[in-house]
Amino acid sequence: MIDKLSKKDIRAIKIGAIAAVIIAVLMFGSKLHGRWKKAKTKGSELYAKLDAIDVDQIKQAGLMSIVPVIEMPKIEGEQKFLFRDKLSEQLKRAGIRNKPLQVQAGRKSPQAGYKLLLVKCNATCRFSQVLDLLARLNENPYLVGIEELKIKCDPKKKGQVDLDQVDLDLVVSTFAI
């Protein structure tokens, strides 16, 4: 039967076959390409997540030394009380008799996308108590950081200062949703 076909017929059949292959390749190829693209996007998202979690051990240790404990931020009302209570507890533990803590709404943190709440603390205490408080502040799981700190003591005669009575103004921050 093939012998009966002319050269033109054979050429037409060849072109037809090539066209059919191209159509099939394009059909399946576009589907596969779509699937591939989707898989790649999903994959890159997943790898980004893994990168976020999988931190180098030394780096993680460094991070843990700065942030030993942390609680995920809660809604503003709840977060405000939790943070204030924990801070009060820490002040009390340090033996600092503070004036009532004042909560201020701060700016929105551009990095984390959380609201920044500020708590202001004024007190008169010993310098050692200040050091004690600063040393333990990192144990507050709601603390973000110290925004402001003012330590003032009056000079005595002959170049001496009274370290038993220092004025402390402290502003600390926490994140809230």
Which residues lie below 8 Å from residue 98, measured CB to CB, with a gap of 6+?
88, 91, 121, 122, 123
Strand partners for 145: 173
Query: Is the CB of residue 176 less than 8 Å from the CB of residue 106?
Result: no
Which of residues 1 and 50 has its CB atom nearest to another protein in the complex?
A: 50
Tell which one of 57, 58, 66, 107 touches another protein (CB under 8 A).
Answer: 66
Query: Could you give the CA distance from residue 113 to residue 119 in angstroms, rounded to a whole number?
Result: 19
Q: Does 56 bind another protein (CB under 8 A)?
A: no
Report how far apart, in Å, the C-alpha atoms of 59 and of each of 6, 48, 53, 55 are.
Answer: 76, 17, 12, 7
Closest distance to another protein from the beta carbon of 109 (Å): 7
Q: Which of residues 31-50 bind another protein (CB under 8 A)?
A: 32, 35-36, 39-40, 42-43, 46-47, 49-50
Stretch that binds another protein, among 20-28, 30-38, 81-89, 95-103 (CB under 8 A): 30-38
End-to-end CA distance of the chain: 80
> Shortest approach of another protein to residue 9 CB, angstroms?
25
131 is an interface residue for another protein by CB under 8 A: yes
Q: Is 53 in the site for another protein (CB under 8 A)?
A: yes
Helix (H) or strand (E) holding 17: helix 7-53
Residues making contact with another protein (CB under 8 A): 32, 35-36, 39-40, 42-43, 46-47, 49-50, 52-53, 55, 63, 66-67, 70, 72-73, 109-112, 131, 134-135, 138, 143-155, 159-161, 173, 175
